[in-house]
Structure 1
Amino acid sequence: MNHVLREPAHRVSPQAVPYWRLSAAVGDVVLVVAAVVAYAVIPDVPGWTLVLVLLVAAAAVAHVVLMPRIRFRVHRWEVTDTAVHTRSGWIGRETRIAPISRVQTVDSRQGALMRLFGLASITVTTASAAGPITVDCLDAETAREVVARLTAITAAAPEQDDAT
């Protein structure tokens, strides 16, 4: 029998794009400012270091512009009565599937910047050495619904003796 794994059904919130863009810009501005300040205050730096500072600045701009759109196209999630399925990444890709029977806890998180964009993330802790599954940048209301749904599904699932 030949099985093909389909991609998870749902995208993250469109608000993830400006959230990721602002998050990246904040970090990248700190990096570029540090490079420029170092270049300006260190005496007798070789001329090629200016090229390095400009490359850092160009990479930061590319990161802020490209990464959010790529992540939005890649990040997907789905919760069914039998599993939690996610796909994430922007350079590399990670696909995770956790059977509902392995779910131990479901947590939600909403930092100040996420709240500004109306977003929240959920983390599903499982009995897996690979660690928890996180779904970043859901609409805050969708995140509350997913947490409630997972809680209901896991409460209704029969307990299994899986040595966890």
Structure 2
Amino acid sequence: MDGGTGSARLRPPNNTLDRRVIGWWRTQWLLLTAVPVAVLAVLGTLVVPARPWLLLSAGVLAVLGTATAVFLPLWWFRVHRWEVTGDAVYVRTGFFWQEWRIAPMSRIQTVDTVRGPLEQAFRLATVIVTTASSKGAVKIEGLDHELAAELAERLTLMTRATPGDAT
């Protein structure tokens, strides 16, 4: 709040994600790229008469996918931010198309922690804050799994103590 005048000033959230999220994002991207590359390579090898353009397409896709996996996660790490205050949960993502998500404590309905197989391998977790918003849940991805558990517990206690009907 601005000195008691009642006008709120939006500022970037303070917290960054865990650095391991970079490896998690890279692995996801490489797995996503590997499937079409493998299909194109197998087809290019097995189809008779040979179709070299399939092998070339596989190579181009592999190079582009690898370059994307190297650079995009670094960029995403720089722009993803989150913060929890006594009033709300704040998440900011994106660079060109920035998205700010704010979930007031009084509107929070559930707080969940999710850990998929890759997240578990990287010791990461996602905290999902569900509200009555038509936009959907607020997600904080790429947190250390212990921090995520502590955050979920803290948010649960905070929302329980916050007046309001969460609808």
Q: Which residue of 2 aligns with 1:17?
A: 22
Aligned AA (1:61): T
Q: Which amino acid aligns with 2:25?
A: W
Deviation digits for residues 28-62 of structure 1 (CA, Å, limit 9, x no counterpart): 11221112112222334665554433321221111
Listed one character per residue, the Cα deviations across residues 120-144 of structure 1 (whole Å, up to 9, x for unaligned) are 1110000100000111010111111
Deviates further, 118-127 or 91-100 = 91-100
Gaps of 5+ in 1: none
Q: CA deviation at 1:113?
A: 2.0
Aligned-partner Cα distance in 2 for 1:91–1:46? 39
Q: For 2:121 and 2:96, how far apart are their aligned partners in 1?
A: 27
Q: Please, which of 130, 133, 137 is the counterpart of residue 132 of structure 1?
A: 137
- TM-score, normalised to structure 2, is 0.85
| TM-score normalised per structure 1 | 0.87
Structure 2 gap segments, 5+ residues each: none
Partner secondary structure for residue 11 of structure 1: coil
SS at match of 2:127: strand
Q: RMSD of the TM alignment (CA)?
A: 2.3
Per the alignment, residue 161 of structure 2 pairs with 156
Which has the larger displacement, 138-147 or 33-42?
33-42
In 2, Cα distance between equivalents of 1:48 and 1:10: 46
Identity among equivalent pairs (%): 38
Aligned residue-pair number: 162
Amino acid at match of 1:27: L
Secondary structure of the 1:9 match is coil
